[in-house]
């Protein structure tokens, strides 16, 4: 079985990297809007930055503003797209899910992007999806394209 993939534009990845750098040393976070395609791929159509509304210190945790989620769900009601994922950063960490992240798996269908930030500079961004039982993360492929901004 081939690995499922997430597609986003270079501009969208750069938006995530800029948010991750701006939030440093706290975690940045936001939502991914898009849709799934036959053959196990997700196409991201928009990256929506959120305030990190977790209780401080936010250097090791994040929480997407529920108001952003509600606004997007409302805006996307007539759209083929929906909220398909979440992104956040790991200040001075690696682009791998932490145990805290595993404990925050509430929606097994969401795609996760994690961006490592070291000394205020964004490094690797990697994609994951919760396993079906919600107990772990599985890696996804990440494809960059230029066609959708
Ligand atoms: Zn994390």
Summarised one tens digit per residue, pLDDT across range 91-114 is 999 999 999 999 999 998 999 999
88 CA distance to ligand 1 middle (Å): 6
**Residue 147 resides in a domain:** no
Read off the tokens for 42: 């997700």
Domain assignment of residue 12, given as a range: 5-137
Would you state the pLDDT for residue 2?
64
Read off the tokens for 73: 């769900």
94 CA distance to ligand 1 middle (Å): 9
Query: What gap in Å lies between CA 5 and CA 52, rounded to an integer?
Result: 26
Distance of CA 35 to the CA centre of its chain: 14
Summarised one tens digit per residue, pLDDT across range 55-98 is 999 999 999 999 999 999 999 999 999 999 999 999 999 999 99
91 CA distance to ligand 1 middle (Å): 9
**Residue 110 resides in a domain:** yes
Would you state the pLDDT for residue 149?
41
Range 62-84 burial, b when 16+ CB lie within 10 A, else e = bbbbeebeeebeeebeeeebebb
Would you state the pLDDT for residue 146?
59
**Residue 84 resides in a domain:** yes
**Residue 74 resides in a domain:** yes
**Residue 85 resides in a domain:** yes
Indicate whether 147 pLDDT > 70: no
Report the number of distinct structural domains present in the chain.
Answer: 1
Would you state the pLDDT for residue 148?
45
Contact present, 24 and 92 (Cβ < 8 Å) = no
Q: What percent of the chain has pLDDT over 90?
A: 88
33 CA distance to ligand 1 middle (Å): 19
78 CA distance to ligand 1 middle (Å): 32
Would you state the pLDDT for residue 40?
82
Summarised one tens digit per residue, pLDDT across range 6-27 is 999 999 999 999 999 999 999 9
> Which CATH number fits the domain that encloses residue 33?
3.40.140.10
- Among residues 111, 100, 104, 108, the alpha carbon closest in space to that of 143 is found at 111
28 CA distance to ligand 1 middle (Å): 10
């Amino acid at each position: 079985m081939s690995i499922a993939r997430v597609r986003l534009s270079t501009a969208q990845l750069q938006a995530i990297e800029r948010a991750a750098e701006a939030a440093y040393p706290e975690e940045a976070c936001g939502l991914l809007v898009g849709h799934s395609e036959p053959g196990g791929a997700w196409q991201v159509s928009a990256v929506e930055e959120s305030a990190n509304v977790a209780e401080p210190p936010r250097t090791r945790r994040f929480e997407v503003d529920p108001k952003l989620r509600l606004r997007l769900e409302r805006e996307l009601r007539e759209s083929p797209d929906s909220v398909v994922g979440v992104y956040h950063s790991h200040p001075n960490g690696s682009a791998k899910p932490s145990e805290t992240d595993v404990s925050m798996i509430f929606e097994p269908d969401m795609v996760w992007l994690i961006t490592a930030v070291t000394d205020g500079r964004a490094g690797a961004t990697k994609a994951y999806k919760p396993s079906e039982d919600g107990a772990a993360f599985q890696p996804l492929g990440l494809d960059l394209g230029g066609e959708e901004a």
